[in-house]
């Protein structure tokens, strides 16, 4: 039986949603979610919208009950990693197909697990040292040398990513993190600094296709290349080499709708991150085809299988 919150939510979005086979779950409507809503409408594909913040999910709900409200296929677009991953787990336990899957979300939402997956799948990635106290973190930096890069294992948009330029600043930044009471502040993910052009590459994958790619140039006052930090973007050609590596990386985490980020090192492309809840506004400037349409078609096709 559905909880009253869910029924209220269904009422708000229209009773006809009860029979839709596709849902989209989100917790913040960004440019991308608006594009996705419009794409479903433009393609005349009935879908239901759920704000994750309004959901109350019952452990004892039957698969049939969940299917009748969410459909059998769900596009998961939560900005909160744990919220989205746990909702995906819940829906999968009720025999729903979730894009991206909870397992893909688990790996991509955690840099520690992503790096392990890249190594296991023989995908070139920057050398990373993991340590679990301030002292061992300092040892890790000494081993990698300066500069090296300290990243939080969870989070995005370049938040908390710092370049450790020398011993004094490294010690201070490690101490600050270690004394923070954040859930992951005593887990240190320290990565080799890659000698690369002042840019990285963001690619967007939908299923088996790389639908777009862009160079992201760091701004004048920041070494990081995140679009959200003001990076300038430029079209990146999707070469055979790039496509092969991106699709291999995507497959290694289970595939779906992903943002694969790479750096151009002296030894070729290195994959440093895969985004499970990819923002594609920047890349859209350089694609002939509408990325939201591609995503909607992908979800529609798999929902019919």
Partner 1 sequence: MEQKCQDCDATMKILDDVVVGEIISCPDCGNEFEVSKIDSNNVTLSPAESVGEDWGE
CA 81 – CA 68 distance, rounded (Å):
26
Nearer to partner 1 (CB atom), residue 72 or residue 254: 254
Are the beta carbons of 105 and 81 closer than 8 angstroms? Answer: yes
Residue closer to partner 1 (CB basis): 57 or 79 = 79
| Shortest separation between residue 267's beta carbon and partner 1, angstroms | 26
Find the shortest distance in angstroms from Cβ 146 to partner 1. Answer: 27
Q: What is the DSSP letter of 183?
A: T
Residue 190's H or E segment, with its range, is strand 188-192
Q: How far apart are CB 82 and partner 1 at their closest, in Å?
A: 5
From CA 124, how far away is CA 167, in angstroms rounded? 28
- Neighbour count for residue 14 (Cβ, 10 Å): 12
C-beta of 33: minimal distance to partner 1 in Å? 7
For the bound state, the minimum distance from the C-beta of residue 166 to partner 1, rounded and expressed in Å, comes to 27
Q: Write out the residues near partner 1 by the rule CB under 8 A.
A: 12, 26-30, 33-34, 37, 49, 51, 53, 79-83, 109, 152, 154-157, 159, 182-184, 259, 275-279
Nearer to partner 1, 66 or 108 (CB): 108
Is 144 or 296 the residue whose CB approaches partner 1 more closely?
296
Nearer to partner 1, 144 or 260 (CB): 260
Residue 105 has which token pair? 């979300």
d(CA 161, CA 126): 15
Q: How far is CA 39 from CA 17, 48, 151, 276, 301, in A?
A: 17, 13, 35, 20, 14
- H helix intervals, 134-181: 134-144, 167-179
Nearer to partner 1, 120 or 181 (CB): 181
Nearer to partner 1, 126 or 259 (CB): 259
The angle at the Cα of 151, spanning 187 to 258, to the nearest 5 degrees, equals 110
| Shortest spacing between CB 108 and partner 1, in angstroms | 9
Q: What's the min distance (Å) between Cβ of 125 and partner 1?
A: 18
- Residue listed under structure tokens 């999707």: 238
**Distance between CA atoms of residues 111 and 113, nearest Å:** 5
């Amino acid at each position: 039986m559905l909880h009253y919150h869910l029924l209220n939510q269904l009422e708000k979005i229209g009773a006809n949603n009860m029979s839709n086979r596709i849902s989209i779950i989100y917790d913040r409507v960004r440019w991308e979610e608006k594009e996705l809503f419009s794409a479903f409408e433009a393609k005349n594909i009935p879908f239901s919208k759920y704000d994750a913040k309004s959901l109350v999910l019952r452990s004892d709900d039957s698969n049939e009950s969940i299917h009748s409200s969410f459909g059998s296929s769900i596009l998961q677009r939560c900005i909160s990693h744990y919220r989205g991953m746990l909702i995906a787990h819940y829906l999968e336990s009720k025999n729903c197909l979730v894009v991206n899957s909870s397992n893909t979300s688990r790996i991509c939402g955690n840099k520690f697990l992503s790096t392990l997956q890249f190594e296991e799948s023989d995908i070139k990635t920057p050398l990373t040292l993991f340590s679990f106290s301030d002292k061992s973190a300092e040892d890790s930096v000494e081993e990698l040398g300066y500069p090296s890069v300290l990243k939080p294992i969870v989070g995005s948009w370049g938040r908390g990513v710092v370049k450790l330029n020398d011993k004094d600043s490294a010690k201070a930044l490690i101490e600050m993190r270690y004394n923070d009471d954040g859930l992951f502040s005593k887990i240190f993910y320290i990565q080799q600094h890659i000698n690369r052009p002042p840019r990285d590459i963001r690619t967007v994958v939908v299923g088996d296709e790389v639908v777009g790619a862009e160079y992201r140039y760091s701004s004048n006052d920041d070494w990081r290349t995140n679009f959200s930090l003001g990076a300038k973007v430029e079209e990146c050609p999707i070469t055979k080499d790039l496509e092969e590596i991106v699709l291999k990386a995507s497959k290694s985490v289970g595939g779906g709708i992903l943002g694969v980020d790479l750096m151009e090192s002296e030894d070729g492309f290195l994959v440093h991150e895969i985004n499970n809840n990819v923002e594609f506004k920047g890349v859209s400037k350089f694609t002939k085809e509408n990325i939201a349409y591609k995503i909607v078609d992908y979800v529609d096709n798999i929902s019919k299988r």
